[in-house]
Structures are given as C-alpha cells and as structure tokens.
Amino acid sequence: MKDEKPPTRIQKKNREVILDAALEVFSQEGFRGATLDRIAKVAGLSKPNLLYYFSSKDAIHEALLRGLLSTWLDPLRAIDPSGDPVEEIMGYVRRKLALARDYPRESRLFAIEILQGAPRIAPVLSGELRELVDETAGVIDGWAAAGRIAPVDPRHLIFSIWALTQHYSDFDVQIRAVLGDGDPFAGAEIHLEAVFRRILGGGPSLSGVN
Amino acid sequence: MKDEKPPTRIQKKNREVILDAALEVFSQEGFRGATLDRIAKVAGLSKPNLLYYFSSKDAIHEALLRGLLSTWLDPLRAIDPSGDPVEEIMGYVRRKLALARDYPRESRLFAIEILQGAPRIAPVLSGELRELVDETAGVIDGWAAAGRIAPVDPRHLIFSIWALTQHYSDFDVQIRAVLGDGDPFAGAEIHLEAVFRRILGGGPSLSGVN
DNA sequence: CTTCGATTTGACCAATCGGTCAAAGGGACG
DNA sequence: CGTCCCTTTGACCGATTGGTCAAATCGAAG
C-alpha cells in the first residue's frame, strides 16, 4: 500500500523555500492577489519549477494553511485545567502574543484568510476549532463558577485574547505609525499583562465596584 | 478658479452605486484581488461605464478610502475631555462596536488595507491619526493621573478598543463558526461592557489586588 | 421634432494570469 | 566515463487583467 517515495534532500529544501516565499506573498496579497510569478521570484526559482514541486497555486496555498493551523491551535491545547486559573490564562495570553511577535506572516495569512470569508478553512473553524473552544470554555466556566476568576463569558474571553494579541501583528503598520519608533511588543506585553489580570479579577472585592 | 461642473442627478447616483459595489469587492478581495469586471457586474454596469465615472481602478479605491477615513476617525474625536472619564471611554467603545456592527464592509476594507501594508494611507496613519491619538492619549493620561480611572497606557488602551471592536466584524466568520447561531454582537456588547469597566477600574481599591 | 451634450457599450488592445510541454542540464552510482 | 532519473527552464497556450476608443443611445431644452 505504500507508494510514497522518500523526499530527496533537494526536494525538502525547495519545498521549504517555496512555502516560505508563498507565505510572504499570500500573507500580503491574499489568494487572488498573489501570483505565481511573484512567488517564484521571491523563492528564486522559475515558475515552471514551482509547479514541479506543487501541482497548482491552490496546492501551495493548501499546504501552507495545513501546516499553519496546528501551530496556531496548539497554545489553546496547552491550557491545563488543573493549573492555577489566572496563571494558565495569562500563560495562554503570553504564548499567543509571542506567536504574533515571532510569526507575523503566519498571523497575517490567517487573518487575510478569515477576512476573505475563510472558504478554504471553514470546516476546520466549525469543526476542530469550535470543539477546542467549547472544551476550553468549559474549563474556564468551571473556574468562574468556583470563584477562582471573575465571572466572564469564556468564549468572548477567548475572542478577546485572540483579538488583542493578533492586533499587534496584523495591524503592525498602524501601530508603528501611531507609536513611532521602538518595539510595540514591549509595551504590548506590559499592557496586556495588566489588562487581563484586571479582567480575570483579583478576588472578592470586585462586585462592590461602583 | 472654479472649473468644477455640478454633478448630474444620474452622476451622483451612479457614483454611489459604483462605490458601493467597489466596497463590496475590495473588502472581500483586497486591491489586487478585486477586478473591474467584478465591480462592474456587482454595480450592474458595463466595465467601460465604470471608467466613465472613475478614471481608473486606483481612482475608485482612493475615493473609497477617502470617504471612509473621516467616518472611521470621527468617534475618537467625539470624546469629551470634560466629561466623566469612564463614561466617555465606554461611549467610545460602544460607538466603535456599533460601527463594526453596522459597517462591516468598511471595517474589513480598512483591515485588509492595513494588513497589506497600507501603502495608500500610510501618510494619514502617521499624520492625522497619530495626532488624534496623541491628543486623546493626553486626555486619558490626565484622567489617570487624577485617579479617575485606573492607571493604563493610553495608547495601548486605544489599541485595545480598536482590536476588540473590529475583531467582531473582521473575524465575523470565525466567531460565528465558534458560537453557532445567533447574533455575536449581543454577547459582544455585554462582554466588552464588563471588560472595559474592569480595565478602567472602579476606583481606589484596585491597587490592593493580589 | 431637433439638437447637443451626457451617457452607454461592443470591439479591441497590450500585459499578465495560471498552467503545459518538450528539451536541456545536473548529480549520484555503476 | 556512461547511464538514468531528478531537476530546471525557455517557449508557449488560452483566459483574464486594466484600460481605450469610436460609435451608438439617451435625455432634456429649444
């Protein structure tokens, strides 16, 4: 039943080069806006050579998304239901922010895909992602019910984490334009640390507010 | 010095129709991904007819962005330095969220433009927008210094408001996939109301947390 | 009804799109 | 050195791109 040949050294390298170039282009232009010529030029290969390694533009894009999705969902899986609630959630925030800082192209590719209606990953969103969120939401709900964090809609809390962390990579240009020089992520780290600690609450004295 | 002819009734209507169609297409595909044929079909006009009203694809896109930017910046201008700090900021949050709910195409157009490096609006970002943010940051800083809201980096607070509100329109597909049926904005309103009140703090008892 | 400018369109253009193909080049192994 | 297969490419294809143009049509004022 095995008819797969083991990939050559050169195959492995060129596939990587192509996917890296495709990530660069797709994440800036979207699927329709990206062109094979551009990807080929960035990869330093000829266009027919691209199509020797990937059968079509769609195939490149699909391979890119497939490789991205697991990386993107992993941090959510790393939340430990038996850990300290605040620290577990703060850890997730930090992991997500690090992802946004270290893999801005991946973040943008994902963002542009969703913005354009996510036609190619819709099944994953309403399948794997939804299940994972439901699961995590249950954990967070348990923490809130036990009074270990302030009451909060767990799903919208997760959305907030996604929004606040991805914003720093996806809207990078806007943020740098407003802030001027310097690394926005330094300020972001401090800010999000404070913000989420306040959201999750320090304990009992929260309901007496205002 | 005036050489502008007053626009005909039919000119006004068709320009609107074209810009509306262009908003639809540009906000889904980005600049490069959008095609004149598509815009023409959505507008119900022939392609040469488009180019009778706008001299080029660029011209349509530019007109669209120009019209959008003021609308997009207005809510920030509406913050009243002499008002109640928490209510002023909460009002801004609500206005931004309403904008995201009622004008999702405009929100996505803006998002896709920034994602692609904002080559056409970079001057506005580092000019008008930055000044406006600086100004508002000063106001917020004053409120924080006076102890009327919890201490917070004003610029990152503004980023947070942008991120959390726009997320609900820009990532609409993902949110609906995770939440299932129903209007995400209903939950968003309640969630953001609670979240930002906690961020802004209820008063003096916040520093005793943890 | 006629006139004249505003409006609309079919036909067309060069450039670029994704993709094909046959032929040439390269590298490991005998 | 020769062979065989993996790799690379120049030339090319039909379709689509943004944009042009002359001719046809429309609509309001006389």
User: Which pLDDT band holds residue A9 (cuts at 50, 70, 90)?
Assistant: confident
Q: Is the CB of B34 under 7 A from strand D?
A: yes
**B150-157 long-range contacts, CB within 8 A, separation 24+:** B150/A198, B150/B199, B150/B200, B150/B201, B150/B206, B152/A191, B152/A194, B152/A195, B152/B199, B152/B200, B153/A187, B153/A190, B153/A191, B155/A178, B155/A179, B155/A187, B156/A187, B156/A188, B156/A191, B157/A191, B157/B89, B157/B199
CA of A65 to C1' of C19 (A): 22
Q: Is the CB of B55 under 7 A from strand D?
A: yes
Q: Contact B125/A32, CB-based, under 8 Å?
A: no
Q: Contact B163/A159, CB-based, under 8 Å?
A: no
Q: Which residues of A touch B178 (CB under 8 A)?
A: 125-126, 129-130, 133, 155, 159
What is d(CA B114, CA A41) in angstroms, rounded to the nearest whole number? 24
Stretch B196-208: mean pLDDT:
68
A25 phi/psi in degrees, rounded to 5: -75, -50
* Residue B68: half-sphere exposure toward Cβ, Cα within 13 Å: 27
B16: distance to nearest CA of chain A, Å?
23
Stretch B164-170: mean pLDDT:
98
Domain residues of chain A, as ranges?
A: 1-55, 63-200
Instruction: Record the tokens describing residue B104, joined without a space.
Output: 């999702």
* Tokens 């000019």 sit on residue: B127
Residue A51, judged by CB atoms within 10 A of its CB (0-12, 13-18, 19+), counts as: middle
Instruction: Record the tokens describing residue B129, joined without a space.
Output: 């927008």
pLDDT at B145 over 90: yes
The count of other CB atoms within 10 Å of the CB of residue B70 is: 10
Amino acid at B205: S
What is d(CA B24, CA B17) in angstroms, rounded to the nearest whole number? 11
- The 10s digit of each residue's pLDDT in B16-47 is 999 999 999 999 999 999 999 999 999 999 99
Helix axes A85-102, A184-200, angle to 10 degrees: 160
Q: Do residues B150 and B142 touch, judged by C-beta distance below 8 A?
A: no
User: Which pLDDT band holds residue A11 (cuts at 50, 70, 90)?
Assistant: confident
What is d(CA A18, CA A43) in angstroms, rounded to the nearest whole number? 6
Please choose, from the candidates A96, A80, A196, A94, the residue with its C-alpha nearest in 3D space to the C-alpha of residue A139. Answer: A80
Stretch A142-159: mean pLDDT:
97
User: Quick one: pLDDT at residue B204?
Assistant: 44
- The 10s digit of each residue's pLDDT in B89-131 is 999 999 999 999 999 999 999 999 999 999 999 999 999 999 9
Write down the mean pLDDT value for chain B.
Answer: 93
Quote ipTM for the complex: 0.92
Stretch B151-158: mean pLDDT:
98
User: Which pLDDT band holds residue B206 (cuts at 50, 70, 90)?
Assistant: very low
* Tokens 């994902």 sit on residue: A110
Whether the model clears a pTM of 0.95, i.e. scores above it, the answer is no
What is d(CA B149, CA B199) in angstroms, rounded to the nearest whole number? 9
- Give the mutation candidate from A65, A124, A130, A178 for the B interface (greatest B CB count, under 10 A): A178
What is d(CA A99, CA A106) in angstroms, rounded to the nearest whole number? 9
What proportion of chain A, given as a percentage, has pLDDT over 70? Answer: 93
A11: distance to nearest CA of chain B, Å?
31
What is d(CA A86, CA A81) in angstroms, rounded to the nearest whole number? 11
Q: Which residues of A touch B209 (CB under 8 A)?
A: 197-198, 201-203, 205
> Is A1-55 a CATH 1.10.10.60 domain?
yes
Listed range (A44-48, B6-10, B50-54, B92-96) with the worst mean pLDDT: B6-10
CA of A3 to C1' of C27 (A): 24
Q: Which residues of A touch B197 (CB under 8 A)?
A: 209-210
Tell me which architecture the domain covering A63-200 has in CATH. Answer: Orthogonal Bundle (1.10)
**Among partner residues A112, A129, A180, which is closest to B178 by beta-carbon distance?**
A129
- The 10s digit of each residue's pLDDT in A98-122 is 999 999 999 999 999 999 999 999 9
User: Quick one: pLDDT at residue A5?
Assistant: 61
Q: Contact A115/B108, CB-based, under 8 Å?
A: yes
pLDDT at B205 over 70: no
Q: Is the CB of A61 under 7 A from strand C?
A: no
The count of other CB atoms within 10 Å of the CB of residue A154 is: 21
User: Quick one: pLDDT at residue A1?
Assistant: 38
User: Quick one: pLDDT at residue B202?
Assistant: 60
Q: Which residues of B touch A197 (CB under 8 A)?
A: 209-210
**Among partner residues B122, B174, B201, which is closest to A177 by beta-carbon distance?**
B122
Residues 6+ apart with CB under 8 A from A92: A75, A76, A78, A79, A161
In degrees to the nearest 10, what's the CA dihedral of A91, A94, A95, A100? 160
DSSP for B126-152, please give it: IIIIHHHHHHHHHHHHHHHHTTSS---
